[in-house]
Structure 1
């Protein structure tokens, strides 16, 4: 919007927002690779460390849509600034004390920060830019998110090995402060009409219980057992909440989530395909398990083998953006998951000798990253551009919640298959291969979601 540009340049805004989202995708996610160092610093049990690792993603996934809704009503810029302050507070809690309570509380606060930042920053870019400039800005958002994820494991290992794990969060605080300064003069772009509406607290409560129950099942069900009493009870609660939520929301004049969003085929196709493509996060987790457990590599070595994923993703992500204008978003959203699934299938060729498998895995990582990069911007652009401006916050919250739940679902399914097959007497190589094939099937379902649900002529705004 032109009035914004008098206060802040587009480049300054993009840098500030990329720094903002890196507080989660690069820094908060680094816990996935520094568990042993955390356990040593806090002198706690592996169970507490595992909880601290998954806690941020859990809180983010549960509250992201809530945060998107609140951003739509009370201001996206204001909520982004609050989220950056929360990120600083959460990071400080991790590094200033060896207290386990502060560790867990800090991870919760980081989760709230990420839940606010993601939908709010997507909405800001949607408001600030138009046309090709919007798609370019969303590409940089995707680079920050996917690039941060791809680099987090390697980055965390290097920082923890050569400096100290606390330095990760010192750097996060520095980037948060820089982001606050870059966004200092960004004017608010909230829709005042939304503030006059009564807030749907009942819908909010049911939604949080619904997403909390399914998130717990997805992230913990494979550990407790899919037929465990708690797993079954929470699954039942999830189903009951879906029914309640639908009936409550359709009777409200100002619902927590406008159900009309789910009549939008391009949007639903983008959300579903995004969920399925992000199950590929499980492939990275499974590859690290196999490389370290089956091929006897170090965490650093297995991390190096996945770097082609990051390189290919960063090289291709702008290509996905440019393809929207020439071909529309749908083509890239079909071809991208096909390339990703091809990469996953290459990972499954565990019967080759070590040298050959390393070469194949490197090629697989290239395909995996290229497919993800090609898909990222067209999917996000489709979700944003086909949604009314006053609902972009909640819509992008649902879209990114699909990313976090998809990743958790992929990790749960693939590691469960890997563990189950290995325990049944098969070799670790065969177990990994079957897990990778399951991952390829999940990603290919994303191809079907894009091909069948998204119309051929979706909006190119």
Structure 2
């Protein structure tokens, strides 16, 4: 930690940050696995439940960069506390009544909370830690994010099966309270506040329209139809917004996003590689679908088979951190996705009989989790350490938005291929196998990005 803030316990700060990001990556994300139970409780239609499932990640992706920008201007600690309060209110709305409006509003608030927490907490790490301690802190941040994702499926299945799905969000509120208490005395760093008239509202509006349109295309295109009128229209809106955004921001004295960020080669390489590697979220989703549809396992049993991914990730993630100092970030950002892609290719061996496939899938999950763990901290460290400190909030917002959109893109692509092939008469095993191969190809794109875009010099933080 910096010398001015060494009176605040670094371990207490890290624990508070990890608990804060778990409110999204673990608790809010459990909706992916408890949809049928939520539908039964609310007595609503599958369409409403599907909207509630995707709404949080959609809101998070759309507003994350906006929230990162605000945390740079108005205080990262203040914004984190606001986000935690929003998380508690959102969780309460899910469990206090059977009102569908409150259900959807609660999911929106959970999305806004996550959009604020992710860039703000990365900024806190960047401010309060230096050198090797910063890289270690970023590792714990990644453990919270990736570890929460890896545990969400198993956790949701266990809680919903043996207690109730509402208990997930009661626990989320308790965790949020603990996070607030741990961060209660954390000092706010000095902010250089822009005058009210200087804030780039036009850039903000265009950017939100741009991200909202492409997010809807990515998350809903395979459901509505890639060539349907709404999807094609939104693609046109997205392209127009890109043109307008760069035209407007280029001439602004204080732009919403400083376009110089996109001239930073290490940063852009980390963002693009991160986007492509996170398409692997689609692999996890498809793996769960295939296990339950093809192998007839329960959601709880499917969740158990994803645990090797989580264990391998947690064991390897600190290795990725230590490799930065010795070899630089680039090597881990190449080797990690190689192992991840190998794991996805092993998932594609669906032609094997069920018992043999389960054994191969357990090995695949280890490769998949280990590779992702090796990649996580070097990628995040590269994005943070190559960005000016006053822009870390918006830069980390773009980086984590890449994670969110990458995951949504992976789910959309792999699910579309899988369901499309089944509808065209292909066997479940064949459809799943080919979909996994496509997933491996996307992750190979992350390898190529790291090889050709990232500089070979060591990136020190």
Please state which band the TM-score falls in when normalised by the shorter chain. over 0.9
Q: How many residues align?
A: 460
Q: What's the secondary structure of 1:363's corresponding residue? A: helix
Partner of 2:47: 47
**Alpha-carbon displacement from aligned partner over 1:333-388 (angstroms, at most 9, x marks no partner):** 00011100000000001111111101100000000000000000000000000000
Mapping for residues 380-459 of structure 1, pairs under 5 Å: 380-459=380-459
Q: Is structure 2 residue 9 aligned with structure 1 residue 3? A: no
**Alpha-carbon displacement from aligned partner over 1:105-131 (angstroms, at most 9, x marks no partner):** 000000000000000000000000000
Partner of 1:35: 35
CA distance in 2, matches of 1:167, 1:298: 20
- Asked if the contact 1:52–1:103 (Cα under 8 Å) also holds between the matched residues in 2, the reply is yes
Structure 1: 4+ residue segments shifted above 3 A = 193-197
Partner of 1:347: 347
How far the C-alpha of 1:426 sits from its partner, in A, is 1.4
CA distance in 1, matches of 2:122, 2:273: 18
**Alpha-carbon displacement from aligned partner over 1:218-242 (angstroms, at most 9, x marks no partner):** 0000000100000000000000000
Q: What's the secondary structure of 1:297's corresponding residue? A: coil
Mapping for residues 147-158 of structure 1, pairs under 5 Å: 147-158=147-158
- Asked if the contact 2:320–2:373 (Cα under 8 Å) also holds between the matched residues in 1, the reply is yes
Q: Is structure 2 residue 333 aligned with structure 1 residue 330? A: no
CA distance in 2, matches of 1:311, 1:156: 17
Give ranges in structure 1 of 5+ residues lacking alignment. Answer: none
How far the C-alpha of 1:304 sits from its partner, in A, is 0.9
Partner of 1:108: 108
Partner of 1:246: 246
CA distance in 1, matches of 2:212, 2:21: 23
CA distance in 1, matches of 2:333, 2:197: 36
CA distance in 2, matches of 1:443, 1:367: 13
CA distance in 2, matches of 1:375, 1:251: 36
CA RMSD of the aligned region, Å? 0.9
**Alpha-carbon displacement from aligned partner over 1:146-194 (angstroms, at most 9, x marks no partner):** 0000001110111111111111111111111111111011111143254
CA distance in 1, matches of 2:196, 2:164: 49
- Asked if the contact 2:222–2:416 (Cα under 8 Å) also holds between the matched residues in 1, the reply is yes
- Asked if the contact 2:217–2:231 (Cα under 8 Å) also holds between the matched residues in 1, the reply is yes
How far the C-alpha of 1:197 sits from its partner, in A, is 7.4
Partner of 1:61: 61
Partner of 1:90: 90
Mapping for residues 6-21 of structure 1, pairs under 5 Å: 6=7, 8-21=8-21
How far the C-alpha of 1:422 sits from its partner, in A, is 1.5
- Asked if the contact 2:74–2:193 (Cα under 8 Å) also holds between the matched residues in 1, the reply is no
TM-score, normalization: structure 2?
0.99
Partner of 1:188: 188
- Asked if the contact 1:72–1:194 (Cα under 8 Å) also holds between the matched residues in 2, the reply is no
Partner of 2:283: 283
- Asked if the contact 2:349–2:357 (Cα under 8 Å) also holds between the matched residues in 1, the reply is yes
CA distance in 1, matches of 2:103, 2:406: 26
**CA separation of 1:395/1:362 partners in 2, compared to 1, >3 Å: closer, same or farther?**
same
Partner of 1:320: 320
Partner of 1:356: 356
TM-score, normalization: structure 1?
0.99
- Asked if the contact 1:76–1:190 (Cα under 8 Å) also holds between the matched residues in 2, the reply is no
